[in-house]
């Protein structure tokens, strides 16, 4: 966890924050779970 915070601090101080997993990825994963469970509306 310390390494993650150190990397985020370093990237933020350089003006760029690179995330390997973003909100769009999370939304697509949620849709995939809903589809797999055959849930049509949430």
**pLDDT in 10s for each residue of the chain, 42 residues:** 888 888 777 766 655 566 788 889 999 999 999 999 999 988
- d(CA 19, CA 24) in angstroms, rounded, equals 11
pLDDT of residue 34: 95
Say what the pTM is. Answer: 0.53
Neighbours of 29 (CB within 10 A): 11
Alpha-carbon distance values, 34 to 4, 13, 23, 25, 41 (Å): 30, 38, 17, 14, 8
- In the chain, domain spans: 2-36
DSSP assignment string, 1-42: -HHHHHHHHHHHHTT----SS-HHHHHHHHHHHHHHTT----
């Amino acid at each position: 966890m310390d390494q993650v915070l150190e990397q985020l601090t370093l990237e933020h101080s350089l003006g760029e924050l690179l995330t390997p997993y973003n909100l769009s990825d999370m939304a697509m994963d949620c849709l995939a779970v809903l589809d797999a469970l055959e849930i049509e509306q949430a």
